[in-house]
Chain A
């Protein structure tokens, strides 16, 4: 009797689990399929898209322009031409015969809607601040848009390459459907999404660019653990794993058929708060800089050689950008560092708290390296590592010394006003220097590119001598199967899967 009861319970359990676990029977996907393991997305609705799920969103949505990964120049996408005479009024000619995935036609109203949406207070748009400069938008015909700015901004076009500025349909309810049914004009259409687990995208057969995309489908797995993602690549379950670490790169280098590439670099700003002691004294800032060893930092933090995957400078401009001025690397000089510190009134050294996000790639490695390098000069760095959300919400912007991750910008002026101008929203070093502010204003409004470059150089010289910043540039690494052909991902962080093929 007991045995029968136990057997029945087990049978019922097995049947129940098969009912649960079977779920909806899904259809098999087509043959030419790129499989990707990426982080579990947070918010994916454009405007509040938090920067995860790049493979998915960049394949569904499109922009007016995109970065050409070979030349670094802007290529037309939904805009075919753009021009400005004074940097204040911008004219965009739009591509015709482009359809959204729901069958509606793309036109100038959609561009107007997308830009005006940045100012909608109910959305909490992440680009609100950057687009406050827009005075008005005119749509003289269905495929022409005139954008009038409040002041000249010769590099305004680059704002439209930001990942949250993809072009949306003015007829679609993104407020309700943006998270569950993303819809744009991109080369792939969302076929099925299992929240927190996977997304199946299929080729957009009505895509405006003939011959693209090259593959039939993208299968995207959302995996919270990077090691599990890498195991999937090793087991040939996926073809692409973005955002791997140098340690994983070393591990994968021993495996045939897998490569690790670095499409671009990111920045880690070590910011000294000039509002607080001891950083209010430039001699202390210089002492800290003289205690550093760029080669050692590159090797310890990224396991790469300086200039070969990792970079270092003392300015806000990345080494890879055309605006960068190659200033000499400061030689490590502990005696000079000690002397400067003593001169500034700290003969016995100084203790400073260093705040950073311990779960952000390269964060704790950089913090530890800085502590060790600065110690012989008399800097006692008290490391304060917190999870990224705690660091950003409770400490960032209000601490004496910090390490923060900053994405690269194609146009560095987008970052300067935010991070280094007096009163800037993310001015973590609390810099309020009239010379810096004036140069940033000139950079933002100067139409002549040569003159603009000159201002950039002046600004970098100023930072080199007096600036409150170390800029450590770390690689963004992507592990790919050797079957993948032509993987492209520019500094905008948006992978361009329409060009990618698979053997």
Chain B
């Protein structure tokens, strides 16, 4: 347990350093994006005077580092600033609603792909080189190779247009909340499942094959133990460890990398908000979204590490791999 605590402490320090460096990188990357924010906002009909007035009003003429420290100071006190477009509207009031929506979508996808991938991965591993394995492996490769915008269009065509079972767009009607419209989650969640299924099931399969070929499993089978008992009580427990790592590592992507899926389905989540922010060069909003994604990615990686060390006795007791 002490070792787990020390891992948590080390990872937390490392997380803080990562976030500090990332905040500077994010700020500088956004800074060097081509184009002029004020010109972008005001459009073609803007006079030089209007562009200059807007730059001054939004503090865009201040030195870079001054703006960086002002931003970091704000972030540390929970103030993400105002959208460059909406004076008087804080980013906090825009962002967290979208974060909530994305969280629900990510969880829905999680509930779909995790059991599905693990069950089919185990099945493929146990039935190695048999038709079941071939079919599952082919499905995994096929879904993995399909980008979200392709699988999304397929899903829209089949479930939305042909069968008319689910809405083809995932908007929340004005005056209603996401929880009154849970059906809008299905197609985007399934689209994410397509991407994740390949990675997770293949990892589960190879891990299962490795464990099933290990001495202690062979000994258990030779002892005459029930095969199902051996698979689910002995093999699966160990075979799940690499899968948990893969799932944990992808949670960051699952949450922050939904730009394509959310944009395709018109889902009002953080991914589509980031897309809008980038398209309109809304610098403070881009920074807030990317920083939040970084935090989530770093946190999910840290939690995965800690969980792995907790579940793996070799790491917990012998210092194993770090």
Check A180–B99 contact: CB distance below 8 A.
no
Known: A17-B104, A18-B179, A128-B49. A228 touches B42 (CB 8 A): no
Chain B residue nearest in CB terms to A390: B35
The answer, yes or no, to whether B101 is at the interface (CB within 8 Å) is: yes
Check A22–B87 contact: CB distance below 8 A.
no
Quote the shortest CB–CB distance from B36 to chain A (angstroms).
Answer: 4
Chain B residue nearest in CB terms to A120: B53
CA distance A50 to B169 in the complex (A): 28
Check A228–B177 contact: CB distance below 8 A.
no
Check B276–A196 contact: CB distance below 8 A.
yes
Within 8 A of B (CB), among A211-242: 219, 221-225, 227-229, 231-232, 234-235, 237
Quote the shortest CB–CB distance from A403 to chain B (angstroms).
Answer: 12
Quote the shortest CB–CB distance from A203 to chain B (angstroms).
Answer: 15
CA distance A342 to B128 in the complex (A): 75
What A residues does B47 contact at CB under 8 A?
124, 126, 128-129, 425
Known: A179-B86, A390-B34. A20 touches B100 (CB 8 A): yes
CA distance A18 to B99 in the complex (A): 11
CA distance A16 to B96 in the complex (A): 12
Check A23–B100 contact: CB distance below 8 A.
yes
Quote the shortest CB–CB distance from A63 to chain B (angstroms).
Answer: 17
Check A393–B36 contact: CB distance below 8 A.
yes
Quote the shortest CB–CB distance from A423 to chain B (angstroms).
Answer: 14
Question: What sequence of 0s and 1s flags, for each residue 174-199 of chain B, a beta carbon within 8 Å of any chain A beta carbon?
Answer: 11111100000000000000000000
Known: A231-B266, A405-B44. A124 touches B54 (CB 8 A): yes
CA distance A105 to B97 in the complex (A): 37
Interface residues in B, total, Cβ within 8 A: 62
Check A224–B263 contact: CB distance below 8 A.
yes
Check B169–A232 contact: CB distance below 8 A.
yes
Chain B residue nearest in CB terms to A228: B266
Check B171–A237 contact: CB distance below 8 A.
yes
Check B42–A50 contact: CB distance below 8 A.
yes
What A residues does B101 contact at CB under 8 A?
20-21
Chain B residue nearest in CB terms to A9: B303
Check A179–B88 contact: CB distance below 8 A.
yes
CA distance A250 to B201 in the complex (A): 41
The answer, yes or no, to whether A85 is at the interface (CB within 8 Å) is: no
The answer, yes or no, to whether A123 is at the interface (CB within 8 Å) is: yes
Quote the shortest CB–CB distance from A124 to chain B (angstroms).
Answer: 3
Known: A16-B103, A17-B104, A180-B87. A389 touches B53 (CB 8 A): no
Quote the shortest CB–CB distance from B215 to chain A (angstroms).
Answer: 26
Check B96–A48 contact: CB distance below 8 A.
no
The answer, yes or no, to whether A121 is at the interface (CB within 8 Å) is: yes
Within 8 A of A (CB), among B59-118: 83, 85-89, 93-94, 96-101, 103-104, 107
Known: A21-B97, A180-B86, A237-B167. A48 touches B103 (CB 8 A): no
Instruction: Determine, out of B24-32, B267-275, B314-322, the stretch whose residues face the partner at the interface.
Output: B267-275
Check A17–B174 contact: CB distance below 8 A.
no
What B residues does A22 contact at CB under 8 A?
100, 177-179
CA distance A104 to B177 in the complex (A): 34
What B residues does A234 contact at CB under 8 A?
168
CA distance A321 to B13 in the complex (A): 69
Check B88–A389 contact: CB distance below 8 A.
no
What B residues does A197 contact at CB under 8 A?
97-98, 268
CA distance A29 to B87 in the complex (A): 27
What B residues does A177 contact at CB under 8 A?
88
What A residues does B88 contact at CB under 8 A?
176-177, 179-180
The answer, yes or no, to whether A347 is at the interface (CB within 8 Å) is: no
Check A225–B266 contact: CB distance below 8 A.
yes
CA distance A236 to B61 in the complex (A): 46
Check B85–A41 contact: CB distance below 8 A.
yes
Check B171–A196 contact: CB distance below 8 A.
no
Interface residues in A, total, Cβ within 8 A: 73
The answer, yes or no, to whether B224 is at the interface (CB within 8 Å) is: no
Check B266–A223 contact: CB distance below 8 A.
yes
| Residue of A17, A219, A388 touching B107 (CB-CB under 8 A) | A17
The answer, yes or no, to whether A40 is at the interface (CB within 8 Å) is: yes
Check A387–B35 contact: CB distance below 8 A.
yes
The answer, yes or no, to whether A422 is at the interface (CB within 8 Å) is: no
Check A17–B100 contact: CB distance below 8 A.
yes
Check A389–B36 contact: CB distance below 8 A.
yes
The answer, yes or no, to whether B39 is at the interface (CB within 8 Å) is: yes
What B residues does A425 contact at CB under 8 A?
47
The answer, yes or no, to whether B212 is at the interface (CB within 8 Å) is: no
What A residues does B281 contact at CB under 8 A?
389
What A residues does B18 contact at CB under 8 A?
none
Chain A residue nearest in CB terms to B311: A2
CA distance A235 to B166 in the complex (A): 10
Check B275–A198 contact: CB distance below 8 A.
no
What B residues does A396 contact at CB under 8 A?
44
CA distance A451 to B182 in the complex (A): 66
| Residue of A23, A175, A232 touching B171 (CB-CB under 8 A) | A232
Within 8 A of B (CB), among A21-56: 21-23, 25-29, 35, 40-43, 45, 48, 50-51
What A residues does B46 contact at CB under 8 A?
124, 126
What A residues does B210 contact at CB under 8 A?
none
Check A26–B176 contact: CB distance below 8 A.
yes
The answer, yes or no, to whether B136 is at the interface (CB within 8 Å) is: no
CA distance A17 to B99 in the complex (A): 9
What A residues does B275 contact at CB under 8 A?
224-225
Known: A20-B96, A228-B265, A231-B168. A125 touches B50 (CB 8 A): yes
Chain B residue nearest in CB terms to A21: B100
Check B179–A196 contact: CB distance below 8 A.
no
Quote the shortest CB–CB distance from B108 to chain A (angstroms).
Answer: 10
The answer, yes or no, to whether B280 is at the interface (CB within 8 Å) is: yes
The answer, yes or no, to whether B239 is at the interface (CB within 8 Å) is: no
CA distance A274 to B265 in the complex (A): 47
What B residues does A235 contact at CB under 8 A?
160, 167-169
Chain A residue nearest in CB terms to B103: A17
Check A123–B53 contact: CB distance below 8 A.
yes
The answer, yes or no, to whether A14 is at the interface (CB within 8 Å) is: yes
| Residue of A27, A179, A228 touching B89 (CB-CB under 8 A) | A179
Interface pairs A-B: 10 shortest CB-CB:
A20-B100, A124-B53, A21-B100, A228-B266, A124-B50, A389-B40, A393-B39, A389-B35, A393-B36, A17-B103
By a beta-carbon cutoff of 8 Å, the part of chain B in contact with chain A is 34-36, 39-47, 49-54, 57, 83, 85-89, 93-94, 96-101, 103-104, 107, 156, 160, 167-169, 171, 173-179, 263-266, 268, 272-273, 275-276, 279-281, 311
A-B contact pairs, 23 of them (CB 8 A): A13-B103, A13-B107, A17-B100, A17-B103, A17-B107, A20-B100, A21-B101, A22-B100, A23-B97, A26-B176, A42-B41, A42-B85, A45-B87, A124-B47, A197-B98, A219-B173, A219-B175, A223-B171, A227-B264, A387-B35, A388-B44, A392-B39, A393-B36
Q: A21-B179, A235-B167 are in contact. List 8 more A-B contacts (CB 8 A).
A: A17-B104, A20-B99, A22-B100, A45-B87, A126-B46, A180-B86, A219-B175, A225-B275
